[in-house]
Structure 1
């Protein structure tokens, strides 16, 4: 949904009620906005409720922990109202802030177990040391994710013929695209830089500073992105916002691509600095440039990090993560 308000949706509530009557579940495992429509039904249903947190929605009305293109230093009513009105508009901003705070309190009291996709998500949502039960259970990938799932040739023909650097994600400031473009502009004799993702409202201003030899590709399906990772020599994740996990990084590691990422958020759970890749200070284009230069100059290091990443990412395969979720189901039913 383009906009999912943090309060119950009457149609969704009725649909969920019909499903509960028909299926009689013991556990409801909710993700994202749909949980708000289940919360009023929880006591009536008699089910246990597990919620996977993929964002910072318990603490931030925008779900990002970002304020004016920088990491937010904490909530405040006046600040949150202004931020929400700028992001959602005046009509939606005020009720969204108020309902997010109210439903956040309801959610914290009603949920039997929160599953945070990274330690950063648990900390950012205020779960650590605050009472609500939680465990960190990461996102996962299908075991066969590296197997080509579709005909990607038409997409791959758009890629450079030679080695290239690859970024995958939204073209915005939060993902550090401006930092990446500055770092790339300062490189000499660098291979092409490929950006695969989708434009945002930040892109018109970002694209004005786009250096030469940058390929911007929009609207790729996942199977084609995976093949692009397979052909790239370095994966880049220069986020300035606290990534909740880093799906793109996990995809790159699955195909043995060494990663340069920001030392922030859930990226720290994925990238072991000096082993599976390199971590740099968020927003530091000079540090990012130096990290790129280091890997470009040392093919053996790239190969070692790629192999180490391939070993590390096995922790996040479905066959390893799903049994952990099933074990939690058993725990909440005791």
Structure 2
């Protein structure tokens, strides 16, 4: 039995792929006999401490979180890429109370813990869910296109355009300097894809790391009741499904243009969050369903013909692909970032170049017209999904906690 402290700037009910990953991992570890606590940033009037599914959740208030004007989304007041004095003080109290054997950090809340690591010297594990260790925006996108890599003359103006001048400069400078300095205190890294490991600069000569993708709950296929009103909005016939933010970076514009060029196509359903660049006009037979709860989205996966993941950004892993596969649904996706690792081209789906309307149209048409291909890819997808289930992944993370796994380096970062 181990005592594990998770550091996650957001946690349900604030929800996203990363937050769901921390929740599923924490609850799975509890079921396997470990004591797990989570330190996260308090949002609104949430209780400071509560226990859910055996996991003790500590919600912290930081100095920056008191200024709502610093954040574009009031319900997602993220941790800064430098030590926040108040967060550090409160984390110190939690570490003293919980006495963890392992501290497992998942994002920028790590920076407020690093000064304490010098004192407590816990086994420190960091999961890289995105490109935040080298990119102030975390997505490695510059001027709407994948970035070739960090450099001051690129990163400073890019961060300024994203966050605003002063805020962007501070974010970039502190993230670039403290992020690199903090690497030396990490005992082991987990990267959710080889794409993330490579772009974040993990070096097998110096860094202890392992590629472990995000994963799904073992009961993902057990659909929950109580979503009848939403499910009534789905087409009664076969349909195609996209799940994600309704933005250009996720390939929505390319998808709509490719779909518009297919005659007599089944309905297309888009489930996601409305964004600034969400298309204003839609082709015929396209249904948009805004921000559905995750349990309802799983129902949609179970009913669709196949999924479409046309992202044009550097996707880190591809949880939506895993969810589609868990219901035996193949996907048409773009060959970018971690999607190239999650989708096995010609075996569990079809990969196309990002932003290529005609290639995407051809792939969609192939999947629609070739029923035997779709059935074969779907059957392989269901088998492939087994590698992304909790029972397959969590033991690998436990071995990293124990320090007994054979990872990519013999020693720590020099």
TM range (shorter): over 0.9
How far residue 195 of structure 1 moved from its aligned partner, in angstroms, is: 0.5
Moved more, 72-81 or 181-190: 72-81
How far residue 243 of structure 1 moved from its aligned partner, in angstroms, is: 0.7
How far residue 91 of structure 1 moved from its aligned partner, in angstroms, is: 2.7
Q: Corresponding residue for 1:87?
A: 162
Q: Corresponding residue for 2:97?
A: 22
SS in 2 for 1:170: coil
How far residue 5 of structure 1 moved from its aligned partner, in angstroms, is: 2.1
Deviation per CA, 1:8-54: give whole Å up to 9, x if none: 12222122111111122221011112111111110101211100110
Q: Corresponding residue for 2:232?
A: 157
Deviation per CA, 1:214-267: give whole Å up to 9, x if none: 101102001100000111001000011111111111111101111101111111
Q: Corresponding residue for 1:247?
A: 319
Task: Number of aligned residue pairs: give it.
Answer: 331
Contact 2:310 2:333 in 1 (8 A): yes
SS in 2 for 1:174: helix
Moved more, 161-170 or 131-140: 131-140
C-alpha distance in structure 2 between counterparts of 1:92 and 1:326, whole Å: 38
SS in 2 for 1:52: strand
SS in 2 for 1:171: coil
Q: Corresponding residue for 1:217?
A: 289
1:7 corresponds, among 82, 90, 106, to: 82
Q: Corresponding residue for 1:283?
A: 355
SS in 1 for 2:248: coil
How far residue 130 of structure 1 moved from its aligned partner, in angstroms, is: 6.3
RMSD of aligned residue pairs (Cα, Å): 1.5
Q: If the length of structure 1 is used for normalisation, what is the TM-score?
A: 0.96
Q: Corresponding residue for 1:71?
A: 146
Contact 1:170 1:200 in 2 (8 A): yes
How far residue 172 of structure 1 moved from its aligned partner, in angstroms, is: 1.1
Deviation per CA, 1:145-182: give whole Å up to 9, x if none: 11012412111111111111100000111111111111
Contact 2:312 2:355 in 1 (8 A): yes
1:119 corresponds, among 189, 194, 213, to: 194
Contact 1:240 1:264 in 2 (8 A): yes
Q: Corresponding residue for 1:105?
A: 180
- Say whether 1:238 aligns with 2:313: no
Greater relative contact order, per chain length (Cα 8 Å cut-off, separation 6+): 1
Moved more, 148-157 or 286-295: 148-157
Which consecutive unaligned segments of at least 5 residues does structure 1 have? none
Moved more, 74-83 or 49-58: 74-83
